[in-house]
Each structure stands twice: as C-alpha cells, then as structure tokens.
Chains A and B, each alone.
Chain A
C-alpha cells in the first residue's frame, strides 16, 4: 500500500468527521466524488449546463439526509442514488424527456475506412448506444463499467439486489455488443 493511500481518510471517516462538525470533511467528500457523479449524470441524460447544479444539490441533500442514512453502503453509492433521483425528478418535471444529449462531442464522420474503430470512436459509439438501453440497464452498466462499482455497491445504489444487478449488467453488455458489432 502506498503511503499516500494510507493517509487518505476513507469516506466513512470523512462522514464521521462531518457529523462532528468538520466542514472541511464535507468539502473533501464533494471534491472526491463530484466529477465522477457529474460524468455519471451526464451519461444518464443530464445536460452539461445543469450538471453542476445537480451535483451540488445531490451532495447538499446527501449531507442533510445523513441522519436517515443507515451507513450500510458506501457514501458514494448514497450520493449517486440521490443524484440519480434528482435527475429522474427533473425528467418527470419535463414530462418524461428521455433524449440523452451527448455533450462535448461534435458529430463526426462515421466512415471507418480502416475497418476498425479507434478507442475514441468506440467511446463515441458506446455513448450513442447507451441512449438506446432501458434506464435501469443503462444505470447498471454505467455504475459497473464507468464507475467501477462492484455488484454489492451497485445494488445498494440502485435499491436492487446484487443478483438482479448482475442480470441487468449482462443484458446491457449483450445489447451493446450487438449494436457495436
């Protein structure tokens, strides 16, 4: 284990410090997870123009709701869950908008004369294909492949079981493979 890793407080330690009144601990939790939460929300359909506010609201609600958090999952899962719910509320408020903008990517020529995709092209096409997945499969895939969560953390985040999460993940991968082939 590196010395850097050994001195970094865990999320649970930071949560405990925040509960004890340490504002810096709360700020550290935000800086630790804000970017990955933002990327997740954008991949789930948030516009990049609104992602900062969503991330801010998600963390604010997460800290405010800590008394109701049982602490049986990760803090990351907790705040991702809240962020996802805020995004769903936003969609409901807009009467079910489900079109997923792929921000920061200009449309490019899809021709592939070399007969194989570059990593960037695969990434772009993957983002396109993600918009075609059912919501739960998309969320499971993103939490596993984009965020690297294991099935237990992922299941807690989405309020499902690890077994169900595994099934959704494999369905998502199967579809993505078919579409990308």
Chain B
C-alpha cells in the first residue's frame, strides 16, 4: 500500500479524532497535492450539516409517547397485501354471484373459463387461485377465505414483513 492509499484509508478516522496525523503524514500532505485536496474534503466531512439545529429531547419524548400507543394492526399490513386481499375477496364474491352451483349442470364452467371471465384472477398466485376456484365450487365460500392475521405469522414471517415495510 502506498503512502497515499494508507493515508487515504485513515483520513475519515483522523477527521473524527480516532486516529492522528503523524509527522510523516503531515510531511506527505505538504508534498502531495492529491492527498492535500483529499484531506481538505475529508476533514470537512464531519462539519457537513453542523449548522442544523436538532432538539433531540422533544423528539425523544414524542417517540416514547407514540411507543406507548398500542400497535395498530391494520396499518402494519403492507399495502400490496391489502390490495391482494381485497382483490381476492372481490373475485370470490363475484364468483359466488356469477357461478352459483353450476358445477352440477351440463356444460358447467371449467376453471379456465372462470379465469377467462375474471381476468383479475390471473394476477393471483397458484395457491390463491386454487383457493378461489375451490371456494367457487361450493356454497361455503365465506368460510373458505382465510384472511391472515399478524398474530398468525411466525417470527420469521413477521421479520420478513417488517423488513418489507422498511423497503
């Protein structure tokens, strides 16, 4: 590693007071124009935004106050889940009305026909689609649609859900 690289790697730590410029470093900075300009950039780093006034105590108070509030479950559901569930419920409701007990009739609609009738069904996953199709075969559809609750999720599923919330 050259003197330039060695010094460059240490500059942020020096700027933050966790390392110091040695006499050799100082001599190098006096002789090397590239390192001198880099040091000017990096040494200004800790000062970026230093003029910003943040009063942390009121923020801490507000955060703690909000944390006392019970977790509002509906807001924790990702939007895409809500949209998916609404779509699923809507498709199922349409299926109940449009396909009442036609499975026993001659020429009863096939699964493919039903999907063609409701293009939104094509957006569902295999499992969701199967669920809707099975539910539409009988009268017990309202009990066949299972809406997952947060309490039903495992620790791992909850962790993934929370990570998806964070983007």
Interface residues of A, Cβ cutoff 8 Å to B: 23, 26-28, 30-31, 34-35, 38-40, 42-43, 48, 51-52, 55-56, 59-61, 63-65, 67-68, 70, 81-82, 85, 88-89, 103-105, 117, 119, 122-123, 126-127, 130, 141-142, 144-146, 148, 170, 173, 176-177, 180-181
Contacts and interface: CB of A to CB of B under 8 A. Distances in A.
B167 interface: yes
Nearest to B63: A59
Interface of B: 8, 12-13, 15-16, 18, 34, 37-38, 40-52, 54-57, 59-64, 66-68, 71, 155, 158-163, 165-167
Contact of B49 (A70, A146, A148): A146
A89 B18 CA distance: 34
A130 to B, nearest CB: 7
A56 B61 CA distance: 10
B41 A122 contact: yes
Contact of B63 (A42, A60, A82, A104): A60
Most buried by A among B34, B38, B44, B165: B44
Contacts of A146: 45-46, 48-49
Contacts of B167: 85, 88-89
B45 A30 contact: no
Given A34-B59, A148-B18, A85 B44 contact: no
A180 B41 CA distance: 8
- Chain B binding site: helix, strand, loop or mixed by DSSP? helix
Interface SS majority for chain A:
helix
A60 B66 contact: yes
A82 B165 CA distance: 10
B40 A38 contact: no
Given A23-B64, A27-B63, A65-B165, A145 B52 contact: no
Given A43-B49, A148-B18, A34 B166 contact: no
Contacts of B59: 30, 34, 52, 55-56, 59
